[in-house]
Amino acid sequence: MFYTQLEAAKEGFVTDEMKIVAQKEGIPEERLRELVAAGQVVIPCNRNHICIDPEGIGKALRTKINVNLGTSRDVTDYDSEMEKVNWAIRLGAESIMDLSTHGDTRIFRRKLTGECKAMIGTVPVYDSVIHHKKDLAELTAEDFLDTIRLHAEDGVDFVTLHCGITRQTIDQIRKHKRRLNIVSRGGSLLFAWMSMTGQENPFYEYFDDILEICRLHDVTISLGDACRPGCLADATDVCQIEELVRLGELTKRAREKGVQVIVEGPGHVPLNQIQANMELEDSLCGSAPFYVLGPLVTDIAPGYDHITAAIGGAVAGMHGASFLCYVTPAEHLALPNAEDVKEGIMAFKIAAHAADIARGIRGARDRDDAMADARKVLDWEQQYACAIDPERARSIRDSRAPEKDHSETCSMCGKFCAVRSMNKALNSEYIDIL
């Protein structure tokens, strides 16, 4: 009996989920099976997430985007979190990560896996404190594993586990003296737990037990990068790369046990280091799908970090990242509201699309070519139809409409419209400007 997509693929079996993904991506089912068997594509779909519409993640496929949401101690409003979920689905996000750190997390998590067709991800280390109602230092290794089990039973499709941070990292961080230390929330919790208890990271020490839990429900492990750089100065440093080497080893162990794996990546990275980061991950982690947060290409734009991150996301995607975690304008400042969520999703849909074109994903440019054709003939309805956000495009044009005698143009150039002039010139028509 197959428990996971990876096990089925290795045995030469094409699952229903593989058939759906192959059809969506426009690639042969057998080719997709080979990619899943090699671990280069994952299909995160927990057996208990009945309503999921499966998606594949891997650089041979369209780039997918994830939307983070969830409650915090200061903002505990599940209705507003559900509003964000609905926006995310409507705008085409393929994945939602519930990062709730306050309130009744299980009810919300079960609502997500009970109603959402998108992939659902969580970070069980956050929930360990809440579920067991214990402070960090009182939690045991078994408590952490119990939380993973709980999330797996609740139908979560992928879990971020910071398995690569170990006691060795504690020495490394102290010795290396980073500019901004550890900025991963899960990573900092495990660092603190190890420091307080003197024990090894349970997600590393009991990795084989975790693999058994994940295998049973086909939960994909997203190997978290606890040492992802939180500023440009720390990018690609020894702490980040040392952890990445370990993530590569863990990827291999997971695949051998039939568990699907993606690897998480930075963070804050200067543009000129992004390609090297993607190639390192590809080489060290056996071409496992790479899931990046941004990366943000400058540290100085709070309020605009959906833009700094989308620039990095597009370049990362061009060089092989296949899963982009969105960033909103509220990054580094506050819990995002619904408007921030929308801005973040649109920025990352654009980044993912730009990456797909650059990677030569089949059919990725078709809509761009249709847009060019519509622009050539000044067909505004067709331009809206091709637009990534038709509503916004229409409302901007309508709010500043051109005068009636040149209504086919827009108010940017009016009768100086280059497209209009060229169409008329090539048709041997008179071009009136005044």
Residues at the contact surface with ligand SF4, assessed by CB under 6 A: 409-410, 412-413, 417-419
Rounded distance between C-alpha atoms, residue 295 and residue 243, angstroms? 17
Rounded distance between C-alpha atoms, residue 411 and residue 324, angstroms? 36
The pair phi, psi for residue 39, each rounded to 5°, is 80, 10
- Burial bucket for residue 387 (CB in 10 Å: 0-12, 13-18, 19+): middle
Q: Residue 400, SS3?
A: coil
As measured in angstroms, the least distance from the Cβ of 432 to ligand SF4 is: 15
As measured in angstroms, the least distance from the Cβ of 36 to ligand SF4 is: 45
| DSSP conformation class of 218 | T
As measured in angstroms, the least distance from the Cβ of 302 to ligand SF4 is: 32
* Annotated binding-site residue? 79: no
* Annotated binding-site residue? 427: no
As measured in angstroms, the least distance from the Cβ of 372 to ligand SF4 is: 12
* Annotated binding-site residue? 264: yes
**38/387 with CB nearer ligand SF4:** 387
As measured in angstroms, the least distance from the Cβ of 226 to ligand SF4 is: 48
**52/417 with CB nearer ligand SF4:** 417
In order of 104, 112, 161, 266, 397, the CA distances from 234 in angstroms are 36, 36, 22, 10, 44
* Annotated binding-site residue? 109: no
**38/413 with CB nearer ligand SF4:** 413
Both tokens assigned to 408: 């086919």
As measured in angstroms, the least distance from the Cβ of 387 to ligand SF4 is: 14
* Annotated binding-site residue? 417: yes
**401/412 with CB nearer ligand SF4:** 412
* Annotated binding-site residue? 186: yes
Residue showing tokens 């939307």: 67
* Annotated binding-site residue? 187: no
* Annotated binding-site residue? 410: yes
Strand partners of residue 161: 223
* Annotated binding-site residue? 39: no
**173/410 with CB nearer ligand SF4:** 410
Sequence-distant (6+) residues with CB within 8 A of 320 are: 59, 278, 279, 281, 282, 290, 359
Sequence-distant (6+) residues with CB within 8 A of 198 are: none
**273/423 with CB nearer ligand SF4:** 423
Residue showing tokens 């089949």: 362
Work out the angle at residue 130's Cα, subtended by the Cα atoms of residues 127 and 135, and round it to the nearest 5 degrees. 110
**338/419 with CB nearer ligand SF4:** 419
As measured in angstroms, the least distance from the Cβ of 413 to ligand SF4 is: 3
* Annotated binding-site residue? 228: yes
**245/377 with CB nearer ligand SF4:** 377
Residue 60 Ramachandran class (φ > 0 left, ψ -120 to 50 alpha, else beta): alpha
As measured in angstroms, the least distance from the Cβ of 419 to ligand SF4 is: 5
Question: By 3-state DSSP, what share of the chain in percent is helix, strand and coil, each rounded to 5?
Answer: 50, 10, 40
* Binding residue ranges for [4Fe-4S] cluster: 410, 413, 417
| Residues in binding site for Zn(2+) | 268, 332
The annotated binding site is made up of: 68, 97, 126, 162, 184-186, 225-228, 264, 268, 291, 332, 410, 413, 417
